[in-house]
Amino acid sequence: MKFTLITGASSGIGEAFARRLAADGHNLVLVARSEDKLHQLCDELMLKHKITAHYIAADLTEFEADKRLFEETERHGFEIDWLVNNAGFGSMGDFAGLELERELQMIDLNISALVALTHHYLPAMRARKSGVIVNVSSTASFQPIPYMATYAATKAFVTSFSEAVNEENRAYGITVTALCPGPTDTNFFAVANAVPFTARGVQTSEDVVENALKAVRAGKAVKVSGFRNYIGSVLGTLAPDALVTRTIGSFLRPKLKKKV
């Protein structure tokens, strides 16, 4: 039986993917740390959409969590034909003052778990000559961001990695899409301990998912969610990094000082 595996499905963009894809008839495997939320969501979606939904509670920053997750889906015989690597978090602040352990965990989740899960599930997709991988990146991936240095760098990795792996797998009927949302109304900013730095143009998770699905249907390697974000990403790419980092740095520095 075919399944869609979504990481970070307990809230925000991941939960919106789960709700939308369940409505489209996908069977689901939902992954996050919050077991209660996943349990509730699975029950709700199975009842409402007559699909099969399983959850696997896992902390993907733990050593070999990706391997245990893969082995569990194999043991159940789940055929993962959509993989949504969405789990991720950010942090905001002066890098020298941020807790190192948390910055390293961010790299483990945003990069290592995403790379590992892509690697685990690709061979079977290749053998079946079909598959969809959505890697949730960010508009943060298009330029370095002072005071979100690690986060922006992890997402630059995700966009670059996804574009390359998409090209390697096109001939196998597999699409790998880097989904790049801009500011979206989720728990992200609270988890990142971020100062509010944008009020306009915030999208809902549902908007982001809708844009993602259009991009998947069109076979796009990179999708920036929303026109305003698209323009921002083009500017972020074209403008010299020195100018972009100075501008962002000057904008965020006083806000962060005020917060302390």
Number of residues that bind ligand NAP (CB under 6 A): 29
CB of 126 or CB of 210, closer to ligand NAP: 210
Phi, psi dihedral angles at 23 (to 5 degrees): -65, -30
10 forms part of the interface with ligand NAP (CB under 6 A) = yes
Are the beta carbons of 86 and 134 closer than 8 angstroms? yes
230 forms part of the interface with ligand NAP (CB under 6 A) = no
195 forms part of the interface with ligand NAP (CB under 6 A) = no
245 forms part of the interface with ligand NAP (CB under 6 A) = no
Q: Round to whole Å and give the CA distance between 116 and 60.
A: 10
CB of 188 to ligand NAP, least distance (A): 3
Question: What is the H or E stretch that residue 19 is in?
Answer: helix 12-23
Residues between 41 and 100 with contacts to ligand NAP, criterion CB under 6 A = 59-61, 86-90
226 forms part of the interface with ligand NAP (CB under 6 A) = no
Q: How many helices (H) and strands (E) does the chain have?
A: 10, 7
CB of 13 or CB of 156, closer to ligand NAP: 13
CB of 103 or CB of 126, closer to ligand NAP: 103
162 forms part of the interface with ligand NAP (CB under 6 A) = no
Q: Round to whole Å and give the CA distance between 131 and 121.
A: 9
DSSP character string of 28-69: EEEEES-HHHHHHHHHHHHHHH---EEEEE--TTSTTHHHHH
112 forms part of the interface with ligand NAP (CB under 6 A) = no
Are the beta carbons of 161 and 115 closer than 8 angstroms? yes
Interface pick for ligand NAP out of 3, 8, 92, 174 (rule CB under 6 A) = 8
- With CB under 6 A as the contact rule, which of the stretches 74-82, 178-186, 242-250, 252-260 interacts with ligand NAP? 178-186
DSSP character string of 240-256: -HHHHHHHHHHHHHHHH
CB of 88 to ligand NAP, least distance (A): 2
Are the beta carbons of 79 and 46 closer than 8 angstroms? no
- With CB under 6 A as the contact rule, which of the stretches 30-38, 44-52, 214-222, 245-253 interacts with ligand NAP? 30-38
For residue 181, the tally of other CB atoms under 10 A from its CB is: 26
Residues between 203 and 222 with contacts to ligand NAP, criterion CB under 6 A = none
Of 55, 121, 147, 151, the catalytic one is 151
Q: Round to whole Å and give the CA distance between 131 and 137.
A: 19
| Active-site residue list | 151
Interface residue list for ligand NAP (CB under 6 A): 7-14, 32-34, 59-61, 86-90, 109, 136, 138, 181, 183-184, 186-188, 191
